[in-house]
């Protein structure tokens, strides 16, 4: 996959957002039509649907990474910043539901799971691991293994958000869900003195 210019990338992402409810079964032709980009131009940058899926996944992960980095760099204790990171992940997932409802399946089906999982580890779990390690060092959090804890947090966040998005008849209040998850998860890690 070649990196498309910003103008084309924005149009492709906007087209994908319109088709998001399609279960990631859209074709390159559908994206080209929705984005009003000639098929040949789209095929110049993306070799096919698998490249488009990877592009969409990486776009979503970049959005989440930006939110997590901002939360992790803020003022406050490591548990406060971890709580803020959890909230930011939930908000990003609710704003872009395909992050937890459609893309994992589509990526696995496309055979790019390992690449996307490595990217997710780098941009989502690594900042959480750093906060967990910091919290353990200050005695604020009880974390025997930061890698296991970050994976458990990511799994709980993704599963809970996915369940709310798919089983709720009403719109999900991202802020409320983020607060509930942050409180539940971080309190479970807080050191007891």
Q: What is the CATH number of the domain that holds 83?
A: 1.10.357.10
If one counts the domains in the chain, the total is: 2
Task: Report yes or no: 158 and 97 within 8 Å, Cβ to Cβ.
Answer: no
Dist CA 125 CA 172 (whole Å): 24
Domain identity same for 92 and 15: no
Residues 87 and 28 in one domain: no
Residues 126 and 57 in one domain: yes
| pLDDT band with cut points at 50, 70 and 90 for residue 99 | low
- Reported as a pLDDT band with limits 50, 70 and 90, residue 109 is low
Residues 92, 184 within the same domain: yes
pTM listed for this prediction: 0.79
Query: What CA–CA distance (Å, rounded) separates 103 from 115?
Result: 13
The CATH number given to whatever domain includes residue 35 is 1.10.10.60
Tell which wins on pLDDT, 153 or 48. Answer: 153
Per DSSP, what are the bridge partners of residue 190?
141
Alpha-carbon gap, residue 159 to 169, rounded angstroms: 17
Same domain, 31 and 73: no
Q: Are the CB atoms for 127 and 133 separated by under 8 Å?
A: no
Q: Do residues 24 and 117 share a domain?
A: no
- Find the domain containing 40 and state its range: 1-47
The candidate with the shortest Cα–Cα distance to 117, out of 133, 101, 138, 103, is 103
Same domain for 85 and 57, yes or no, is: yes
Verify that 129 and 162 share a domain, yes or no: yes
Say whether both 29 and 94 belong to one domain: no
Same-domain pairing of 70 and 24: no
pLDDT at 120 over 90: no
Higher-confidence residue of 183 and 169: namely 183
Average pLDDT over residues 41-50: 88
The predicted model gives 164-186 an average pLDDT of 93
Report how far apart the first and last C-alpha atoms of the chain are (Å, whole number): 52
pLDDT confidence tier of residue 23, bands split at 50, 70 and 90: very low
Residue 39 has pLDDT above 50, yes or no: yes
Give the burial string for 74-84 (b: 16+ CB within 10 Å, else e).
eeeebbbbbbb
């Amino acid at each position: 996959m070649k990196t498309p210019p910003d103008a084309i990338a924005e149009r492709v992402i906007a087209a994908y957002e319109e088709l998001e409810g399609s279960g990631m079964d859209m074709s390159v032709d559908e994206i080209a039509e929705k984005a009003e980009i000639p098929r040949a131009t789209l095929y110049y940058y993306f070799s096919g649907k698998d490249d488009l899926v990877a592009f969409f996944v990486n776009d979503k992960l970049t959005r989440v990474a930006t939110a997590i980095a901002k939360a992790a760099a803020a003022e406050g204790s490591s548990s406060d910043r971890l709580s803020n990171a959890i909230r930011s992940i939930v908000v990003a997932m609710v704003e872009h539901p395909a992050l937890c409802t459609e893309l994992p399946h589509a990526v696995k089906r496309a055979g790019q799971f390992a690449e996307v999982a490595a990217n997710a580890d780098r941009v989502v779990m690594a900042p959480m691991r750093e906060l967990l390690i910091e919290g353990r060092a200050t005695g604020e959090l009880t974390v025997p293994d930061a890698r296991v804890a970050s994976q458990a947090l990511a799994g709980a966040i993704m599963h809970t958000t996915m369940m709310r998005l798919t089983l709720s008849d009403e719109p999900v209040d991202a802020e409320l869900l983020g607060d509930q998850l942050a409180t539940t998860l971080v309190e479970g890690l807080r050191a007891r003195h």
